[in-house]
Amino acid sequence: MAHVTILDYGAGNVRSIKNAIKVAGYETRDVESVEDIHNASILVFPGVGTFKQAMDFLIRSNYLTALRDYIQANRPYLGICLGMQTLFEASEECDEHKGLGLIKGTVGKFRDDQLAVPHIGWNGLNQWKHSALFSCLSVPATKAEVYFVHSYHVLKSEKNASWVLTTTNYGDTEFVSSIQKGNVMATQFHPEKSGAIGIAIIKGFIERLSCTPNHDTPINQVVARHTVLSKRIVACLDVRSNDAGDLVVTKGDQYDVREKVTDGVDSVRNMGKPVNLCERYYQEGADEITFLNICSFREQPIGNLPMLKVLEACSEKVFVPLTIGGGIRDYVDNNQHTHSALDVASQYFRAGADKVSIGSDAVYAAESYYTNGMKLSKTSSIETISAVYGRQAVVVSLDPRRVYVASFYDEKAKGHTVVKLSNPGPNGEEYCWYQATVRGGRELRKIDAVKVAKASQSMGAGEILLNCVDMDGQKAGYDIDLVHLVKSAVTIPVIASSGAGTPQHFIDVFEKTACDAALAAGIFHRKEVSIQNVKNGMEAAGIQEYRLHPLAKELYMKEAIAILLLSDLNGSTKRITQLCDVLEASGSPLDAIIIAGGFVDANVIPNYETEEAQSRAEGDMTALLSRLESLVCRVIYVPSENDPPTTKSAVVHPPHLTPFSVNCFYAEEKLKTDIFVCGESREFAYCEEDSSGYAMRIIVQSQKPARKCIMQCQQMDACQAADATLEKQSILIVGGPRESVRKNAIVTGMRQ
């Protein structure tokens, strides 16, 4: 049996990749010297953390040259996450070190003004080459979802295209999600955290020699889809010792975990054994599993061997991300030995955790952050752990309580963010702010949840787990106002928690807020609601419909005009090909397409290096546009001011219209309908009315702020009849957050 050699640079959960390889049927050994790299028959370099930490390790251990030589010799190599990024020339994350330089390109950071960063969760793949990596999959790679957790990415370019195996979309960014050339393979995603799909990918890599002869050859016709990050369902296990000292899963009612019995004696509510429940949730389809050691503030975490044993046992059978929370702090033990939060986190990572959740210590750190004028101390638990393991490994768990006040201007709420509640409090209260707590919700602090969340992000947290003491155990639904408030305040992912009682509660929080995941505990423990029931409900509601049918949807509306706006195509044959594929798959239901801005004429294709390439590009575009025009009743070309002259349209902009208004003007003129209003907004998919009182629809595609969009609506004198037919007909809205789209609009494809 072939042994797989693991190059462990000391950061993150390496136990899981070893366990995944074992499940695939193979044994592992660690690299302990340069000779181990030279002698390896199969080498795996897994990694989470930072580019600097990984390169520091390779240089310090004198592994850099040996690793480069191994890969250049086309020997079997699988890099995971950082194990892929280090193959490139450099990273924006680290100016101090260059990468291995084996592949052209620089690792860049996702823009957090457009996306929640890190990119965390399950996403799809577009495959560009045949590969042994996917030879053991039970489904095509393009129908699989795999787990990502990263802030940095690599873009496909002409210089690295020969290496690109798959790409994935996050918002408008298409990044390289795996590479391959010969026996050298690497993934940005984590196969060891991608369930059965990931195990099959690992098996395919190890057994690559038995693959088909077309391994590593381009796929002739790639039908690329716009992959979309899924909303995650997280199963939570609240863990603590019972009165007999056994570690059990429990569940609280507003954070009270003790059962009340008739004889006056109470006991810890016991919901089952942690390892058994964890394995059950994995089998039932949980996207992630979280352990919260709810009494850890009383304990010494380094000595918490039962919790470490639980993690070790779970990682042998559970191959989705595991988060552990509780007791992540600096402390002095009974022997007067000092232990740092980083020490505690490191033990959890080595035991099988992928992320650590910091609770009380994050609140204390946030208080210090504001006291010191919003300056980073570089000593907080958040900062020290994220510096080594990366932002994506640090979750901050907040446990706020509502503090009811009379109004936005109540003196009792001075200095805090007040919200008007969508559902009144138990005594009819209409306003509140959310007070941070520590010690499992037992102790109130003066700081509010919004400030803690903002400070946590500044200090290096990669995710917020947002609980609510008032909603815990009530099964009345998530606190939508709290989730919306905190999600709007940060650019990192937010997990909604506390209050789920039915599948509809998950649907509500995803439709009414932009949260990235939703967590539940008690209803899953008691089997009142299954994880699959939740996912089925979400699919029926359209929350997860892109998982099975990412673009091709039924677009017909009775007695409605369906219009699609495309903007900023910039001569992209890929986008137009994608659109044609969607139209064919969905029966070509569009009445019209407005191509607004972005040159799309073969005569204005940008100059290529050779005449042959130029001619080929012009021919491709001509064929594509002919195909598009054959699928749709009307295709209308509307150039923007910055576009070069185009033979598709000799239109001159009316001088009284802004560039924004041009599209509206021609939509009315060409379609003879006055319901079409286009705009540039990421925040909202419609606005109620402009300053003149005219209700208008906005079609969303670009990234400009909503405020500018509304200002531009006020200038649209060419569209003042919009309200006359707004209630009679509907249009197609493309892109934008689902929760802001009115019910009588159709949403499809080309998502932001």
Three-state secondary-structure class, residue 152: strand
Alpha helices, DSSP H, located in 681-738: 706-713, 722-725
Q: pLDDT tens digits, residue range 142-152?
A: 989 999 999 99
CATH of domain 3-210: 3.40.50.880
For the ranges 36-40, 107-111, 721-725, which has the lowest average pLDDT?
721-725
Distance CA 719, CA 692 (A): 11
Between 244 and 379, residue with greater pLDDT: 379
**Among residues of the chain, what percentage have pLDDT more than 70?**
68
> What's the confidence (pLDDT) of residue 680?
31
For the ranges 175-184, 326-335, 366-375, 666-675, which has the lowest average pLDDT?
666-675
* CA distance to 2, 112, 353, per residue, from 237 (Å): 38, 31, 14
> What's the confidence (pLDDT) of residue 542?
79
Contact partners, residue 221, CB within 8 Å, separation at least 6: none
> What's the confidence (pLDDT) of residue 685?
28
Distance CA 497, CA 477 (A): 9
Distance CA 734, CA 686 (A): 11
User: Taking 90 as the threshold, does the pLDDT of residue 380 lie above it?
Assistant: yes
At 614, the pLDDT band (50, 70, 90 cuts) reads: low
| Active-site annotation, residues | 81, 190, 192, 238, 399
For the ranges 36-45, 349-358, 622-631, which has the lowest average pLDDT?
622-631
User: Taking 60 as the threshold, does the pLDDT of residue 539 lie above it?
Assistant: yes
**CA Rg, the chain, in Å?**
27
User: Taking 80 as the threshold, does the pLDDT of residue 668 lie above it?
Assistant: no
Sequence ranges of the domains in the chain? 3-210, 232-547, 563-748
Cβ-based neighbour number of residue 721 at 10 Å: 13
Alpha helices, DSSP H, located in 51-108: 51-60, 64-72, 82-85
**Among residues of the chain, what percentage have pLDDT more than 90?**
54
Q: pLDDT tens digits, residue range 254-270?
A: 444 444 444 554 443 44
By CB atoms closer than 10 A (0-12, 13-18, 19+), residue 75 is middle
For the ranges 626-630, 639-643, 684-688, which has the lowest average pLDDT?
684-688
Q: Which amino acid is at 177?
A: S
Tell me how far the alpha carbon of residue 687 is from its chain's centroid: 27
| Helix or strand holding residue 322 (H, E) | strand 322-325
Between 605 and 108, residue with greater pLDDT: 108
User: Taking 80 as the threshold, does the pLDDT of residue 303 lie above it?
Assistant: no
By CB atoms closer than 10 A (0-12, 13-18, 19+), residue 521 is buried
* 369-378: average pLDDT: 96
> What's the confidence (pLDDT) of residue 650?
32
User: Taking 60 as the threshold, does the pLDDT of residue 189 lie above it?
Assistant: yes
- Can you list the positions of beta strands (E) in 428-573? 431-438, 443-448, 463-466, 494-496, 517-520, 563-567
* 528-542: average pLDDT: 90
User: Taking 90 as the threshold, does the pLDDT of residue 87 lie above it?
Assistant: yes
Short-list 456, 458, 452, CA closest to 433: 452
* 710-725: average pLDDT: 26
User: Taking 80 as the threshold, does the pLDDT of residue 413 lie above it?
Assistant: yes
At 550, the pLDDT band (50, 70, 90 cuts) reads: very low
By CB atoms closer than 10 A (0-12, 13-18, 19+), residue 195 is buried
The reply to whether CATH 3.20.20.70 applies to domain 232-547 is yes
What's the length of the chain? Answer: 752
User: Taking 90 as the threshold, does the pLDDT of residue 623 lie above it?
Assistant: no
